[in-house]
Chains A and B, each alone.
Chain A
Amino acid sequence: MTNSRPWIPYLLILPSVAFLALLFVVPLVQTIWLAVSDNGAPSLANAERMVTDINFTRSVKNTFLLTIAVVPVQIALALAMGTMVAKVGRGRETILWIWTIPLGISDLAAGLVWLSILQNTGYLNSLLFGLGIIGRQASWLSYQTPVALFLAIAVAEIWRGTAIVMVIIVAGLNQVPKEFKEAAEIFGAGPWTRFWRITLPLIRPALQSALILRTVLAFEVFAVVYALGGRNFPVLVGEAYNWQNQNQNYSVAAAYAVLIMIISLAATLIYLKALKVDPERLP
């Protein structure tokens, strides 16, 4: 049946391909052209403008630092959380449900939640003051306290983004057959050996998806940083936003967008190469 009409699968995916081409490829091509042209002629002026801007180096540095700080912590936390719930019998669903609450909150709302905790008149200051630890409001989020600001943003990002990693990893863990673990136990493997030698290799596809998703999202971090840091902590997407909205120079904003896309693609390729998944294990 299928062999006699080999074009059927292509026909079925045609609408989505057309949809993607219309709403994704066309704007993508337009954005790239906007970034590499000036008055209708090819030009690197926008890229030059971007690179020589005072916030460019800082935004690249901040974005990478944040990614390097946040993603490993999220993966480690998600693995720990996933392994923990695997041992829980009753109440497992409830725990998972609670842990995934941050997933339902928008980025900006998450940023505002943390702003209400960390700003001058926020909950943290009130608590510390109430306990007599500090004599007056401390500022955690100003340009004079870059380390505290960085930590605050990292914590907010970890809080917000770990749930999605956990969901993917729990799904991966559920697919690991119990027999493998039981066999390993019979041969005397301890919990660490079982984790490193059995669980981790078997959840590699899930891990790969989670890493790609989280890293790409980390490079695109914006709303949380915007809420907590404002101008004090420039990141790549924030700069794209500023050039588009405040400076109204769509070309330089497009240059930033293209740069973010290149970085995200490069990160994805690195993960695809580094965490090779056997073809037979692909969905």
Chain B
Amino acid sequence: MKHIMSFGILASTVLAFASPVLAQTVFVSTQLRPIEEATVVREELLKDVGSVDYVVEEPPQFAVRMEAERQAGKHTVSLVGALHGELSPLADKDTLEPLDDLAKKLAASGMPQSLLDLGKLGKSTQQYIPWMQATYVMAAKKEALQYLPAGADVNALNYDQLIEWGKNMQDATGQPQIGFPAGPKGLMARYFQGYFYPSFTGGVVRTFQSADAAAGWEKLKALWAYVTPNSTSYDFMQEPLAAGEVMVAWDHIARLKNAISAAPDDYVVFPAPAGPKGRGYMPVVAGLAIPKGAPDKAGAEKVIEHLSMPETQLLTASKVGFFPTLNIKLPPDLDAGVALLAGAVTATQASKDAVISLLPVGLGDKGGEFNKVYMDSFQRIVLQNEPVADVLKAQGATMAKLMADTKAACWAPDAKSDGPCPVE
């Protein structure tokens, strides 16, 4: 009897460990992490593609996990979903399966070639398949519109108008009403790389310490007088907007979505302001890739094809607010909040002075330190009030070293370079 019992326990333990590993395609993603979004992925987006184990991972842990699996040579992950910049270090180490056949198929079904080319990450073969895209916009409570300076069009603001708007709101309410996500997990660095620098200097790296940049920083200091000091603790702007701590905010559309979808009638969503060199904006692309040595490559390809179908892409847009990578029209019955966000994205892309700024390319695992250059400059110039020229010179040197170390060539909007992107 005793023997039978212990055998039973042993057998059930073995089964408990063995069975799920055998049958499932493990899909690790740094995107759609919050529990509500992950649930949508598991219960709706991946409903019809067999047994997929959707696992979410924070970006740093994701990098560690992929590296650990590569070093150990023991692969459990069959499919990864991550941002362009997070996949780039994996491609640099040559750890992703080429996906050219899939790319050909998707190009035929209407995925723009420019977007597909982004997925090559500068290599000759397709490294990832563009999965969904997003960008950053500004959102404001409708009651803030009454303080807009005379003659200002909210869809075509410039920095002077934003500053005046901030001043008007502060005068009227007694508190600064503009917010930025400059907290520890906020995406403020992207503001500098995709919006501030392109708008004021027309570049991101080359123009880092130019006179245009110095003038821009002075403008930002003027704006910061009307930005709530709590900004350095904000990670996602949807909470402070919904809580009424700020009236106007800039952030990633997915980090504004909850507030706006909950009360679409209370908000306007519009492009970020323009500077002397135009209206900088940064498209964000998330991609799907298959690591070399994936235990279930066929299953992973099936998931990629499924997620790239027009129906799934539209469902993704309406449920989580990331937009399709296929060239398809959004349906009229879209979630009202997502429709507002989509409107602002279109307005940004369609604005005549738009300056497109790509996510940093070729920095490998130095992306974090690249962000730090901008965040340190921000901390020293705006928060600690250090002289602009000195800070830009010091941080410019750090940036130049970073570019030399990684040998990253310039990317848009900087002019192309031979060799590492220079800091002029």
Mark A residues whose CB is within 8 Å of B: 54, 120-121, 136-137, 139, 141-145, 226, 229-232, 242, 244-249
* Beta-carbon nearest neighbor of A53 in chain B: B376
Instruction: Let me know if A142 and B232 touch, CB within 8 A.
Output: yes
Instruction: Let me know if B60 and A231 touch, CB within 8 A.
Output: no
Instruction: Let me know if B367 and A54 touch, CB within 8 A.
Output: no
Q: Within 8 Å of chain A (Cβ to Cβ): is B138? A: no
Instruction: Let me know if B174 and A230 touch, CB within 8 A.
Output: no
Q: Within 8 Å of chain A (Cβ to Cβ): is B368? A: yes
Instruction: Let me know if B233 and A232 touch, CB within 8 A.
Output: yes
Instruction: Let me know if A246 and B229 touch, CB within 8 A.
Output: no
* Chain A to chain B contacts (Cβ below 8 Å), 24 pairs: A54-B376, A54-B380, A120-B230, A121-B243, A136-B175, A142-B229, A142-B232, A142-B233, A143-B229, A143-B383, A144-B229, A229-B233, A231-B182, A231-B184, A231-B233, A232-B232, A232-B233, A246-B60, A246-B368, A247-B369, A247-B372, A248-B60, A248-B368, A248-B369
Q: How far is the CA of A229 from the CA of B183 in the complex (A)?
A: 9
Q: Beta-carbon contacts of B361-394 to A below 8 Å, as 1s and 0s?
A: 0000111110110001001100100000000000
Minimum CB–CB distance for A59 against chain B, Å? 13
Q: Beta-carbon contacts of B215-257 to A below 8 Å, as 1s and 0s?
A: 0000000000000111011000000000111000000000000
* Beta-carbon nearest neighbor of A229 in chain B: B233
Q: How far is the CA of A231 from the CA of B229 in the complex (A)?
A: 12
Instruction: Let me know if B368 and A231 touch, CB within 8 A.
Output: no
Q: Within 8 Å of chain A (Cβ to Cβ): is B354? A: no
Instruction: Let me know if A136 and B174 touch, CB within 8 A.
Output: yes
The interface centre, meaning the residue of B228, B233, B371, B372 with most chain A CB atoms within 10 A of its CB, is B233
Mark B residues whose CB is within 8 Å of A: 58, 60, 63, 174-175, 182-184, 228-230, 232-233, 243-245, 365-369, 371-372, 376, 379-380, 383
Contact of B63 among A54, A142, A248 (CB under 8 A): A248
Instruction: Let me know if B233 and A249 touch, CB within 8 A.
Output: no
The interface residues of chain B lying within 8 Å CB-to-CB of A246 are 60, 184, 368, 371-372
Minimum CB–CB distance for A214 against chain B, Å? 26
Additional 4 contacts, C-beta under 8 A, given A143-B232, A144-B229: A136-B175, A230-B183, A246-B184, A248-B365
* Beta-carbon nearest neighbor of A141 in chain B: B233
Instruction: Let me know if B379 and A54 touch, CB within 8 A.
Output: yes
Minimum CB–CB distance for A196 against chain B, Å? 45
* Beta-carbon nearest neighbor of B189 in chain A: A246
Q: How far is the CA of A244 from the CA of B58 in the complex (A)?
A: 13
Minimum CB–CB distance for A130 against chain B, Å? 17
Q: How far is the CA of A141 from the CA of B232 in the complex (A)?
A: 10
The interface centre, meaning the residue of A120, A242, A249 with most chain B CB atoms within 10 A of its CB, is A120
Instruction: Let me know if A120 and B245 touch, CB within 8 A.
Output: yes
The interface centre, meaning the residue of B229, B230, B365, B383 with most chain A CB atoms within 10 A of its CB, is B230
The interface residues of chain A lying within 8 Å CB-to-CB of B365 are 248
The interface residues of chain B lying within 8 Å CB-to-CB of A244 are 60
